[in-house]
Amino acid sequence: MNGQGQCEYCNGFFESGTFDKDELNGQGRRNFTDGAYYVGEFKKGVRTGYGRYVESDGDVYVGEFLDNKYHGQGKLTYASGNVHNGGFKNGETNGHGVLSWKNGTEWSGHFSIVQEIYLSIDGQFKSVNGTVYVGTFLSVLLPYEGYENFTDRNGVSYYGLWSISGPEGIHNRTTKDGTLDQVRPFIDESGSLAWTNVNDIG
């Protein structure tokens, strides 16, 4: 088939748009058997260029594609309501981006995949109450991992060990005027950062 047309297969697979030698080439639409569909640019039957892909689970991506994968600049709106706007590479978040959660919190910085398992974010996290956490995060779901810098909404910074359950051990605290002391921070019952001065322990 050449030119404008459409094809519907017995398994429910459907294509329409501009064809060249029986392959979509240019603008077109492809419906998948699982309910997902893509509308946008094709190159020799492959999603390449700009388009919109609605996944079967409700996630929606609008942006650039290469070889059937998210690649370039795009916006991925998850079915949960969270939104990632920024760079993608080979189907994964990569480069500068902003991940906004529907509860109002926001991650921004450089996103990359580490060891094909973990999502690393080198940037900052803004909570709904204005607290800012600055450092390198491993996975959006497990942000506090390793030695990190944390800056609260008053401009006081902390450096120490964080785990998935929160801050651990002794941290160095630096106030806005440069005063340095040591504290043992923790997350209180309300989910807010609190601390105890090391000299007051005991």
Query: Could you give the C-alpha distances from 158 to 30, 106, 121, 154, in angstroms and in order?
Result: 51, 20, 18, 12
Q: Which of 67, 50, 78, 58 is nearest to 140 (CA)?
A: 78
Q: Which helix (H) or strand (E) holds 81?
A: none
* Top-ranked range on mean pLDDT: pick from 20-24, 51-55, 141-145, 162-166: 51-55
For residue 193, being part of any structural domain is answered with: yes
**Strand, helix or coil at 198?**
helix
18/1 Cα distance (integer angstroms): 9
pLDDT tens sequence across 143-169: 545 777 777 778 888 888 876 556 788
Is residue 91 predicted with pLDDT exceeding 80? Answer: yes
Q: Which of 60-64, 87-91, 111-115 has the highest mean pLDDT?
A: 60-64
Q: What percent of the chain has pLDDT over 70?
A: 84
Q: Which of 1-10, 118-127, 154-163, 172-181 has the lowest mean pLDDT?
A: 118-127
Assigned domain for 27 exists: no
Query: Domain limits at 179?
Result: 144-202
Residue 168, domain member (yes or no): yes
Mean pLDDT of 185-191: 71
DSSP-assigned letters across all residues of 83-107: EEEEEEETTEEEEEEEEE-TTS-EE
Q: What pLDDT sits at residue 199?
A: 72
> Is a pLDDT exceeding 70 seen at residue 139?
no
Identify the weakest region by mean pLDDT among 89-98, 121-130, 133-142.
Answer: 133-142
Q: Give residue 147's pLDDT.
A: 76
Residue 201 has pLDDT above 50, yes or no: no
What are the φ and ψ backbone dihedral angles of 104, each rounded to 5 degrees? 100, -10
Q: Is 61 part of a structural domain of the chain?
A: no
The count of structural domains within the chain is 1
Structure tokens at 44: 């020799």
How far is CA 60 from each of CA 36, 51, 64, 86, 138, rounded to the nearest angstrom?
10, 11, 13, 14, 24
Residue 175 has pLDDT above 70, yes or no: yes
Q: How distant is the alpha carbon of residue 111 from its chain centre? A: 7
